[in-house]
Amino acid sequence: MAALKALCRAESLFLQNTTGPRRISLHFYNHPGCYFSTSSQRKSKFYTNPTDAVKDIPDGATLLVGGFGLCGIPENLINSLLKTGVKRLTAVSNNAGVDNFGLGLLLQTKQIKRMISSYVGENAEFERQYLSGELEVELTPQGTLAERIRAGGAGVPAFFTATGYGTLIQQGGSPIKYSKDGSIEIASEPREVREFSGRHYIMEKAITGDFALVKAWKADKAGNIIFRKTARNFNQPMCKAAKITIVEVRDKHS
């Protein structure tokens, strides 16, 4: 089962849609938006209060959080998690926000236990927690991160990529968590290596989540959403890779 929630501010909206087996179609038009729809068996629900839409996220959940930098991030949903106080979260996101915005807010309150990310250099609190052993971090090349999420939504458990071969990603031993004395407490595992047509590849596992928190432009009660221009970024593949998707949108359509 999968679900889609959509959230709405005064001019935005939050929708929930429960579906049967997911069959996702993505249609491109001569239009600034990108259309996304779920399967025919669905229930959907709109919320005007974002806290109501995220209140069932439990401690220890894995969240797929959309956005690229600060573009297309579900900022109201993230802010609402501050109110619920949920903790020990695993957050999968290309970025880790900045110190006072986006996922950076959840880092300040230490609600995130592990980050699976690509580019995290704009968050000083992230760096402090990682180096002090307070935060687990799995750094993943950006293209590999995108494909791991896409594979999760497509039902592909793993795939091979040349990215990372010959590095710590392939060899293992990259620090995920430091001890207080600076030693490595948790290290990454080595990847399986295969050779295809004379080139070496490493195996990467797909990523799936308990919840996806994404930002879109428009939504309807059938569970269809439209992304606007580059704000689509990681939001679209994350919709498919989570059991429940919570969508923050600006416009509601019947």
Nearest to 247 by CA among 95, 34, 73: 73
Report the pLDDT averaged over residues 149-162. Answer: 97
Tell me the pTM: 0.84
**Section 64-75 average pLDDT:** 89
For residue 175, give its domain range: 157-205
Give percent of the chain with pLDDT exceeding 70.
83
| pLDDT of res. 57 | 97
pLDDT higher than threshold 60 for residue 157: yes
Query: Average pLDDT, stretch 130-159?
Result: 96
Domain termination site, one of 188, 205, 222: 205
* Residue 73, in any domain of the structure: yes
Whether 51 and 97 share a structural domain? yes
- 180 with 189: CB under 8 angstroms? no
109 and 47 in a common domain: yes
* 22 and 113, same domain (yes or no): yes
Identify the pLDDT of residue 251. Answer: 77
**Do 64 and 88 fall into the same domain?**
yes
24 and 61 inside one domain: yes
Sign of torsion, CA 106 70 44 153?
A: negative
pLDDT surpassing 50 at residue 188 = yes
- For the stretch 81-122, pLDDT in tens is 999 999 999 999 999 988 889 999 999 999 999 999 999 888
Average pLDDT over residues 172-182: 95
Counted residue by residue, the chain has a size of 254
Shared domain check, 110 and 14 = yes
Note whether 81 and 53 are within 8 A (CB): no
Instruction: Please tell me the predicted confidence (pLDDT) of residue 228.
Output: 85
* Residue 156: both structure tokens together: 């592909």
Domain-located, residue 134 = no
Residue 145 covered by a domain: no
First to last CA, the chain: 24
Give the tens place of pLDDT for each residue, 5-63: 655 443 445 555 544 333 333 332 333 344 444 444 456 778 889 999 999 999 999 99
Shared domain check, 105 and 86 = yes
The answer to whether residue 149 sits within a structural domain is no
Instruction: Return the SS3 of 176.
Output: strand
Q: Compare 45 and 154 and report the one with higher pLDDT.
A: 154
Residue range 73-86: average pLDDT? 95
User: Residue 72's pLDDT is what?
Assistant: 79
Domain shared by 98 and 182, yes or no: no
Question: Do residues 70 and 36 both lie within one domain?
Answer: yes
B/e letters for 140-157, b = 16+ CB within 10 Å, e = fewer, are bbeebbbbbbbbbbeeee
Domain boundary residue, one of 169, 190, 205: 205
Point out the domain boundary residue: 167, 185, 205. Answer: 205
Task: Answer yes or no: is 139 within a domain.
Answer: no
Q: Determine the pLDDT at residue 15.
A: 57
Say how many domains are in the chain: 2
| Domain co-membership, 9 together with 106 | yes
Residue 21 lies in a domain: yes
Which amino acid would we find at residue 175? Answer: P
Query: Is residue 144, in this structure, part of any structural domain at all?
Result: no
150 in a domain, yes or no? no
Say whether both 165 and 116 belong to one domain.
no
Q: What is the rounded average pLDDT of the residues 229-241?
A: 89
Write the DSSP symbol of residue 68.
Answer: B
Task: Give the pLDDT band (50/70/90) at residue 213.
Answer: very high
R_g of the chain, CA atoms, integer Å:
18
Q: What is the CATH number of the domain that holds 108?
A: 3.40.1080.10
189, 229: one domain = no
Q: State the pLDDT confidence band at 4, using cuts at 50, 70 and 90.
A: low
User: What integer best gives the mean pLDDT of the chain?
Assistant: 85
* CB of 129 closer than 8 Å to CB of 107: yes
3-state secondary structure of 48: coil
